[in-house]
Every structure is written in C-alpha cells, then in structure tokens.
Amino acid sequence: MSDGLLAERYDSLHRSTGFGESPETYRWVARLAVPPPGTRLLDIGCGSGGALRALEGCGAGTIGIDLSRAALGLARAAAPSAALLQGDGARLPFPDASFERVLNLGNLEHFADLVGGVREMRRVLTPSGRAWVLLPNLFYSGVIWRVLRGREGPNHHQPIDRFATREGWRDWLEWGGLRVLRSLPHHKGKRWKRLLPSALAWHFLFECARGAPSTGNPPPAPLARAEPGIALPPL
C-alpha cells in the first residue's frame, strides 16, 4: 500500500471517528516523558494532537508528524504551539540525533515498514534521549474473553494491525536499535484491571534509549492482519 493510499485511508478515519487514545493516557505519557525546557520532542504519528496538547507549555520545542492531513488539521487546533508536518514515520525528514524525546503512541503497529519505524526513532534520538512507545498486547484480557466466547481475536480496525506480547514487542524494539529500559502496563483507564497480571494489560508503554541495531535474524513476527486488498510487507 503506497503512502498516498494509506494517508487517504487515515484521512477518512480521522474525519469519521474520534480517533486516538484518551486524554488521560496522553497526560500520563506527558508526565513521564516531559522534555527539559529548551530541548526538542518529536511525536511520530501525532494524529489529532492529543499528546502535543498535553505537552503545551512544557518549554520544549514540540513537533508532530503524521501521514494524514485531516489529522494534522485537528492537531493544529489542539496544540497551536507545535510545529506540524505531513510525513512517514519510517522515513523521517530530520538529521541524526535531533530530538531529546521521541513519542510513538499507538502507531508503530500500523506502519507498513515496522523495522524502518524503529530504526528511524533510534536515528533521530540523541545519545542521552528517551523514546516512549505505546504498543498493543496480543493477549489483552478483553481479547481473551472474546476468544472464550467464540469471537475473533484482536482487531483495531485499521488498514494494518499488528499485535505481540510484551516480550515480543521488546524483542522487536531492541532488534531495531532501541534499548528497552522499562515497560509499563496500560489498562485504558479501567482501574480494576490493575488487579490482573500485568501481562494481560491492554497496551504496554516502553521507555527506550538508543541501542545497537541487530545484524542477526529478526524475532518472530507479530500477529498481523490487513484490510482486504492490502498486502502486508515482509518483516
């Protein structure tokens, strides 16, 4: 699927749905990832600007990039101080080591080029910087319940979806050159689910530093699905 076709599909999604994570999720990530004043932060796949809005007034230079023009129009209203541009997160138009903070929140799993997305985050991150990546759990408790009732497995109804366990995502991030410092379970605001094992969380938020890309064989591929007519590129 070309970038143009993928952008059109996301334009349609942003015009027709309330798309993105909850405001509480963006505020949570902003508290964890707030950049020092005078530094720079890049939000890859910024969507309608929820994370950028949560970071308004932080004193850093914030930049959002997204394939969808419709999303950027919404982000412009949500975060007027942020710089915004249209582009592909797997081919970022920035020099090496440009950002002290990089966000990728619920987007990497939808990239046509998953490996390129990880390596680009590493490339633009400063040696002492941090990347925060939110990724969906293959074995989320709600998915297990649906499967037990004879329904389908995970599906986020996007052109390309991928799902993995916490360890599976960790392996892909580190294979692409991001060293995982810690992972935090995210339960989508449902506090009672914190009583469940963290391996059943809805998503995992990974805090990463720059590492060394692997030259060996890639890890096992995440579970992947694509809309009819979309060919999933090999990993």
When divided into structural domains, the chain yields a total of 1
Residue 206 located in a structural domain: yes
Which CATH number do you get for residue 214? 3.40.50.150
Please write the tens of the pLDDT for every residue from 25-34.
999 999 999 9
Place of tokens 């994370």: 51
Give the pair of three-digit tokens for residue 225. 């699905």
Of 210, 17, 2, 164, nearest to 88 by C-alpha is 2
Residue 235 located in a structural domain: no
Model confidence, pTM: 0.93
- pLDDT given at position 30: 96
Residue 61 located in a structural domain: yes
Place of tokens 């582009």: 87
Residue 8 located in a structural domain: yes
Q: Residues 6 or more apart from 48 whose CB is under 8 A from it?
A: 14, 19, 20, 71, 74, 75, 78
Domain that holds residue 184: 3-226
Residue 136 located in a structural domain: yes
Residue 70 located in a structural domain: yes
- Under the phi-then-psi rule, with left for phi > 0, alpha for psi from -120 to 50, and beta for the rest, what region is 7? alpha
pLDDT profile of the chain (235 residues), mean per 10: 76 84 94 95 97 96 96 96 96 98 97 95 98 95 72 81 96 97 87 76 95 91 87 80
Please write the tens of the pLDDT for every residue from 32-71.
999 999 999 999 999 999 999 999 999 999 999 999 999 9
